Amino acid sequence: MKLIGDDLKALERKADEVAHAVSGVPGVADLGILRVMGQPNVNLVIDRARADRFGINVSDIQDAIETAVGGKAVSQILDGERRFDLTVRYQEPFRRTEDDIADIRVLAPSGERVALGQLADIKVEDGASMIYRENNSRYIAIKYSARGRDLGSTVRDAMAAVAHDVALPPGFHLDWTGEYESQQRANARLMVIVPLTLVLIFFVLYSAFRSFKWPVAILLNVAMAPIGGILALMLTGTHFSVSSGVGFLALSNVSVQTGIIMVEYINQLRARGLGVDEAAIEGAVLRLRPIMMTALVATLGLLPAALSHDIGSDSQRPFALVIVGGLLTNLAISVFLLPTLYAVLAGPGDLEVVAAADQEDPAPRPLRRLAS
């Protein structure tokens, strides 16, 4: 969380209130504030009335402070192509303490040397040790982790707690950033990519089968495939994340492939003279081996990642779990559900559509070679 405002002390106070409100939310852990205050500063506030009484300009007083305490560049030293500022300032015994600084002398127009303590109020106050800025605005960061709960619901509850318990002054606002912000951006992209992908898949399938029936059947098969991935996440206690979302997209790709293999082969069996029910059963039996090998290759390859709990596995394990669980259920769905849907949707005019498509494109299609 980034609490943005212009007053550092007010930022510290409100950050404490925000942290207190969030601390009671289930799932919030490792709560902490990146403090900006806590650095002791020597503040010198020039009294213009007293300076005017001695006839000394404010700029002269500031020059005297800069030269005595901070140091002032009076020349440069050249060393080949390098340049170094030659800086002069008082020796350490004359600027070490607050009293030493108050005893620094400033020359008045009358020739009198006036102590700095007579011209300014000098005191040590708590100041900023570091000032964080973003978009030209000061902010203070409150860090936290989500443990034992998914990030999305944890942050939503934390937002509600802050909105209920903390009143921010005018000009202050709170940004929820970090991994949550990245997750929201990724979810927004997925909301566009997933429907667009399904539409493109549908049109590709329609161009392959010249019919609306089989793309619908294959997409229904794709819609059932995530059941295994969801069960795998539930059984392992893994929360949904961007990584698992990408896994569901990859799983849909494999489901489309197995669906094409099954439907195309059943069409070929019907073209040889088999009935709908007989072709569906025969196709499910004969296509079981290639579909099983496709699923087992990906499952065995991703199984080590799905079972890993080492450092860095948090990003890859959800992806692998979705693929492994989804492929195992997709195997059963492709063998039992898809032939059943085929038998329900099949009609006597299907073979005429396939024959017409073959007449338009008499060359053997790569899809048929893959199915055979």
Say if residues 139 and 11 touch (Cβ distance below 8 Å). yes
Q: Which two tokens stand for residue 145?
A: 């982790």
- Position 362 scores a pLDDT of 46
The candidate with the shortest Cα–Cα distance to 118, out of 42, 41, 43, 47, is 47
- pTM (2 d.p.): 0.58
Q: What CATH number should be reported for the domain holding residue 67?
A: 3.30.2090.10
Same domain, 232 and 312: yes
- Position 363 scores a pLDDT of 42
Same domain, 139 and 116: no
Greatest distance between any 2 Cα atoms in the chain = 120
Q: Give alpha helix (H) positions in 142-225.
A: 151-165, 179-209, 213-224
Same domain, 134 and 123: no
Same domain, 106 and 165: no
Q: What CATH number should be reported for the domain holding residue 156?
A: 3.30.70.1440
Domain region containing 120: 39-127
Q: What CATH number should be reported for the domain holding residue 310?
A: 1.20.1640.10
Query: For residue 4, how many other CB atoms are within 10 A of its CB?
Result: 19
Please count the structural domains in the chain. 3
Q: Which two tokens stand for residue 255?
A: 């489901």
Same domain, 254 and 367: yes
The residue among 110, 142, 177 that closes a domain is 177
CA distances from residue 112 to 90, 105, 106, 109 in whole angstroms, order as listed: 20, 9, 8, 7
Same domain, 15 and 51: no
Quickly tell me which residue has 């849909």 as its tokens: 252
Distance CA(81)–CA(103), nearest Å, equals 41
The residues, any chain, with a CB within 8 Å of residue 233's CB and separated by 6 or more, are: 239, 240, 244, 318, 321, 322, 325
Same domain, 254 and 186: yes
**What tens-digit pLDDT sequence spans the chain (372 residues)?**
999 988 888 888 899 999 999 988 998 888 888 888 878 888 889 999 999 999 999 999 998 888 888 888 889 999 888 999 999 998 988 888 888 999 999 989 888 899 999 999 988 888 777 888 888 888 999 999 888 787 888 888 999 999 889 898 898 999 988 888 888 888 888 788 888 888 888 888 888 888 888 888 888 878 887 888 888 888 888 877 778 888 888 888 888 888 888 888 888 888 888 888 888 888 888 888 888 887 788 788 888 888 877 776 677 788 888 888 888 888 888 888 888 888 888 876 666 555 444 444 444 444 343 333
Distance CA(44)–CA(195), nearest Å, equals 64
- Phi, psi torsion values for 324, nearest 5 degrees: -65, -50
- Position 312 scores a pLDDT of 64
Say if residues 182 and 6 touch (Cβ distance below 8 Å). no
Q: Which two tokens stand for residue 74?
A: 């009076």
Same domain, 136 and 207: no
Same domain, 292 and 329: yes
The residues, any chain, with a CB within 8 Å of residue 26's CB and separated by 6 or more, are: 148, 149, 154, 157
Same domain, 120 and 209: no
Q: Which two tokens stand for residue 61?
A: 């007083």
Same domain, 29 and 80: no
Say if residues 218 and 260 touch (Cβ distance below 8 Å). yes
Same domain, 98 and 193: no
The residue among 111, 127, 143 that closes a domain is 127
The residue among 157, 177, 197 that closes a domain is 177
The residues, any chain, with a CB within 8 Å of residue 60's CB and separated by 6 or more, are: 106, 107
